[in-house]
Chain A
Amino acid sequence: MFKKFSPAGGLSPARAAYLAEQQRLGLLVRLCQVGLLIFFVAGWEISARLGLIDSFIMSSPARVLRTLTNLRENGLMLHVGITTFETLVGFGLGALLGNLLAFILWWSRFLARVAAPYLVVLNALPKIALGPVIIVWVGAGMQAIIVMALAISLIVTVLEMLGGFVSTDRELIKMAETFGAGRLQTFVKIIYPSNLHTLFSSLKVNIGLSLVGVIAGEFLVSRAGLGYLIVYGGQVFQMDLVMTSVLLLALLAALLYGGVVLLERVVMKALSQS
C-alpha cells in the first residue's frame, strides 16, 4: 500500500531509512521484553541457589519446573482444565445474559430508567462479597463458582452494551425507519451490528473478570482448580505449588484473552469491519 508513494524501481533513501529505523525500534522493544523475563527468572533462580532468598518460601524456577514435570501425580492439568471450564461457562453465561438484559432495557426506556440506580449500585458493589450468599443459595460446588464468574461480569456487560445501544448513530436508525423498519428490525439490522466493537471490548474485559470470579469462588468452596491449588498450597506451605499455579494462571489468563482477541479478528474480518 505504501509502495505507490515511492518512486518506481524501489524505495526512496529517506523512506528506506525510516523503515529501517522503525524496524530497529520494534526489535529493541522485543529484545527488552525478552531480556526482562530472562533477567527476572535468572535472578530468581540465582538468588535461590546462593541462598539470598529462602526457596522454601519463595520457591524457584527450578522447583516450579520440577512441580510442572510431576504433572501426573498432582493432576495439574485437570486443575487447569476445571478452572478453564468454569471460567468459560461463567463468561459465556455472563455475556449471553448481559446482552439479553441490555436488549430488554433498550427495548423498554421505562424499565431502563427504573433500573438505572440499581445498576449503578450493583456495578459498584464488589461482587466477591456475594460469595457466601451465592454458596448458600446455589450450593457449595462448581455451580457456585460459575455463578460468581457470572455475577462479576454480568452488570458490566449490561451497562456497556446498553450504553452502546442507546448511543448508536441516530442517522443510521432514521435511515432504517424511513424504510419502515420496526424496533426489532432496527435492532437486528442496525443497532446490534454497529455495536460489535462494544461487544468485543466488553468481552475482553469480561474474560479477565470471569477468571477473577472463578479464582475467588475456588478459594471459597472448591476441591479442584487453580484457585484451590493456590489456597491448598498456601495452607500446607507448599510454595512451589502456589507459585506454579500462579504462573499457570497468568498463562491461562493470557491465552483466554488471546482467544477473545482472535475471535474478534475472525468475526470482524468476516464482516469486513476491521
Chain B
Amino acid sequence: MREVLRLEDVSLTYQAENGEVHALESISFSAGKGELIALVGPSGCGKSTLLSIIAGLEPPTSGKVYLNGAPLRGVSNQVGYMLQKDNLLGWRTIRANVLLGLEIRGMMTSGNIAYADELLESYGLAQFADKYPAQLSGGMRQRAALIRTLAIRPDLLLLDEAFSALDYQTRLAVTDDVFRILKSMGKTAIMVTHDIPEGISMAERVIVISHRPGRVKSVHSVDLAAATPLERRSNPAFAGYFNTIWKELDVHV
C-alpha cells in the first residue's frame, strides 16, 4: 500500500490571551492509499487543529507532515477539506458552487470543468446543477460539497465533523453515500468525529487522541468485513469496538 500521508512528531503550541496552549504533542501516524482513518477524542483535544495542520492552513510548531513523500508546504492541491456544514454559497448554482475550488485555484481548464460535470452526473446531481443550494435537501447539499472537494482531484480528503450538522437519519444515509464514493475512487481520507460509532462504521483504523495536549492514546484496527457503514453497524463485533474505544476515551461527566 503506497503511503499518502505521514505525520512525524507533530506538535503545536499556540499563544492565547491567558497563556500558552499545548494543543498537540508528538503526533505520528501514516495513512496508505485508499485507507480511511478516524480521529476520535474528547472535545478540545485538538483533533480539528490537527486537520488544519494536515490541510496546510497552519504550520506545526515542530514535526513534519509528508504528503506523497514530499514535505507539506502550505495549502496543497492534493488535499481536499470538508467541513461540518456544506458551506455552499447561496448565490451560486450547484454547478457554480462545485466549480468554486477550481476557480480559486485558477484551474478552470475545460478538462477540469468536464470532470466536475462528470462527478455531478455520476453522483446524481446533474439535474440539480442549475438549482440553488436552498432548493436541495441537506443530504444532497452535503454531496454537492463533497463533489466540490473532489473536483480538484485530491489524493487525500479531510472530513472535519463533516456529517454532524445533519439530522440522524440523513446522517446515516450521507455517511453511507460518502463512504461508497470515497471507496469507489480509492481516496485516502482522515475523518475527525466525536461520534464513535460513526468512526467505527467508516474507518479501517480509529485513532484515539487524548485530552490536551492531544497525543495518540491508542490505535484500533477495525476489522468488520462489511461493505458499507450501515452493514458494519449491524455486525455483532461492532459493539465490542465501541466499548473498547469508549473506555479509552475515559469520559467523565
Contacts and interface: CB of A to CB of B under 8 A. Distances in A.
Interface string A79-100: 0000000000000000000000
Q: Please tell me the size bucket of the interface on B.
A: 20 to 34
Interface stretch (B12-20, B101-109, B237-245): B101-109
A193 B100 CA distance: 14
A189 B90 CA distance: 12
B140 interface: no
B89 interface: yes
Contact of B83 (A174, A189, A196): A174
Nearest to A174: B83
Interface string B73-92: 01101011101110101110
A190 B97 CA distance: 11
B87 A175 contact: yes
Given A176-B104, A178-B57, A179-B75, A193 B89 contact: yes
Contact of B103 (A174, A175, A189): A189
Given A180-B105, A272-B132, A171 B90 contact: no
Interface string B60-77: 000000000000001101
Main DSSP-derived SS at the B contact region: loop
Contacts of B132: 272
B36 interface: no
List of 10 A-B pairs having minimum Cβ-Cβ separation, nearest first: A178-B81, A180-B75, A175-B87, A271-B91, A179-B104, A179-B101, A181-B104, A272-B132, A273-B91, A193-B91
Contacts of B81: 175, 178
B24 interface: no
Nearest to A273: B91
Contacts of A177: 57, 75
Main DSSP-derived SS at the A contact region: helix
B55 A178 contact: yes
Contacts of B89: 172, 189-190, 193-194
12 contacts: A171-B84, A172-B87, A174-B57, A175-B87, A176-B104, A177-B75, A180-B75, A180-B104, A180-B105, A181-B104, A185-B104, A272-B91
A189 B100 contact: yes
A98 B196 CA distance: 50
A265 to B, nearest CB: 15
A174 B161 CA distance: 14
A179 B153 CA distance: 12
Interface string A186-206: 000110011010000000000
Nearest to B133: A272
B152 interface: yes
A171 B100 contact: no
Interface in B122-171: 132, 152
A179 B152 contact: yes
A175 B100 CA distance: 10
A273 B132 CA distance: 9
Contacts of B83: 171, 174-175, 178
Contacts of B103: 189
Interface in A158-173: 169, 171-172
A251 B152 CA distance: 54
B75 A178 contact: yes
Contacts of B80: 178
Nearest to A268: B91
A171 B105 CA distance: 19
A82 B101 CA distance: 48
